[in-house]
Chain A
């Protein structure tokens, strides 16, 4: 139409001319954009101008999503809530299990470490259950005669002495715990090497050091370790920590708590059979220790 317009219809250059101009311009733009990267500013300007349109184009979708979320039916929410609750419950159960396994793993690692550092070789045993005997502090282990367990073996965990095997069945064995009433362990105070004996007072009760003068040099916080004098307990095994010293009466009443996690874990170490006693300096004390062991064991 325009190409055949008479000259008095003023409307600028012919379409072909315009095309030529704009095509050249386009090519120049392309070259400038790709070769010389000098049109970044122009692109930015145009994109600022274009932004409202872009915003408008995406706005309905955003709005749709928002309103759909807003209008989600109550039932859907309830259902989702219920599902999430279920999922949370099972996740909690799982997390607890993981936590338990973690604890167990830590303990086993500790035991492994202890097994290597303990003076005697040892055997790992799992606690089957607490003895049902309410009058004695005893545990049942899953290792018995067939595993080479014999009565009189010492049981420890990673942090200290736990007790002694007193009865052995083919597949299980029974530990008399440190805390069992009148269970005795010959110990020394780690700080000053004072020799003494620590007594059990019953399940869940503190241990006690008896028959010590009221001015004895034992303080709260002292660590008691096995002395090894009886030839049954290996020397240096941590036993208890002094908690409380009562010096009011003629004899001091010294209460201690076991260092081993008695009643805490599932795995314990059964130390190997007492090796023949190392040559002991005093010949007189050896039979005495052996006699004591015998009494205590049964």
Chain B
């Protein structure tokens, strides 16, 4: 989160799990199949968010597990999402301090780049296995996901702001 004048309430593990479940749900929605590449990758987005905000709890391992789930859910090569999510979780952890104090719109740019990287990794994995190039629309998801960053961050913080004093 950007530099804040608020003291936020701690986040319960249940809440994190719940949000991840919701994100998985979002990724598994039936319309994902029809819109294919244009749908934002909610799981990756949320992984970046939580890695940014709860680096002690959420990281590479959680990314890997979520990746496995997504691989099974999407029916892709097992390990494809896992690798991509591990990498972006690591990068988020690596630059955690720089990103977490930036304003939301700058965080959105970082998230955009990370999501793009995730797609790129998955594309590279598949093309290594001989899959043909599926078109530039494969990278359209992050473009749509990036503007969602600010609303998402505010939505998540709403929970932590509840009952917290307005000022320090």
User: A-side interface residues toward B, CB under 8 Å?
Assistant: 1-3, 11, 15-16, 18-19, 21-23, 25-30, 32-34, 39, 42-43, 46-47, 49-50, 53-54, 56-58, 61
Contacts and interface: CB of A to CB of B under 8 A. Distances in A.
A11 B60 CA distance: 13
B77 A34 contact: yes
Nearest to A18: B60
Nearest to A60: B29
A20 to B, nearest CB: 9
A21 to B, nearest CB: 8
Interface stretch (B61-69, B137-145, B148-156): B61-69
A42 B72 CA distance: 9
A46 B69 contact: yes
Contacts of B63: 22
A57 B82 contact: no
A97 to B, nearest CB: 43
A49 B70 CA distance: 12
A25 to B, nearest CB: 7
A42 B73 CA distance: 13
Given A19-B86, A34-B77, A53-B28, 18 more contacts: A1-B56, A1-B93, A1-B96, A3-B93, A15-B60, A15-B90, A18-B61, A18-B86, A19-B60, A22-B63, A26-B79, A28-B79, A32-B78, A34-B129, A50-B24, A53-B21, A54-B28, A57-B25
Interface in B29-76: 29-30, 55-56, 59-61, 63-64, 67-69, 72-73
B25 to A, nearest CB: 5
Given A56-B25, A57-B25, A26 B72 contact: no
B117 to A, nearest CB: 13
A16 B73 contact: no
- Residue of A19, A26, A29 with most partner-chain B CB within 10 A: A26
12 contacts: A1-B55, A11-B56, A15-B93, A18-B60, A18-B90, A23-B87, A50-B28, A53-B24, A53-B25, A53-B28, A57-B26, A57-B28
Contacts of B60: 15, 18-19, 21-22
A37 B43 CA distance: 26
Contacts of B25: 53, 56-57
Nearest to B81: A26
